[in-house]
Amino acid sequence: MTGFAYLGALVVSLGGLAVLDRRFRLAFWADPARTAITLVVGVLFFLAWDVAGLALGIFARGDSPHMTGLQLAPELPVEEAVFLTLLCYNTLLVWRFLDLRLRGRGRREAARPATGTAGTAGTARTTTRPTGPAEVGKTSDGPTTGAGA
């Protein structure tokens, strides 16, 4: 049974990422088709990278009692594909979280009214001034000057 320990840990980790994704609607729960395409392209790229490394003798499959022994290709264990899926999914979720966080901050800063003027030390005071004929004669909440005030 220990032969599936690593694969099981990878699958549990993927499940945890899916829970986070659902909670914050970052990837699959925001745009399933785009997320699936992104993950497939990423995993295929890294699998091709692994195959090239194996062919050149740069990479080698290590033996471990915690692996299944199942292989996608010579020297390419099934666990590698699951790990690459975990890696790509994790990276995508972090990217989406940071992207949404920075966009939200930018929107909040753009929506924030300009505050502070010379002499007010960062406090804003709003005044309402008449803008047209219908507004003439209405009082304002701000400071006023003049003879009738």
| pLDDT tens-digit series, residues 107-130 | 777 887 766 555 555 555 555 555
Is the model's pLDDT at 145 over the cut of 70? no
Q: Tokens representing 106?
A: 């930018």
Say whether 58 sits in a helix, a strand or coil.
coil
Comparing CA positions, the residue from 13, 94, 85, 17 lying closest to residue 45 is: 85
Centre a 10 Å sphere on the Cβ of residue 82 and count the other Cβ atoms it contains: 18
- Answering whether pTM is above 0.75, one says no
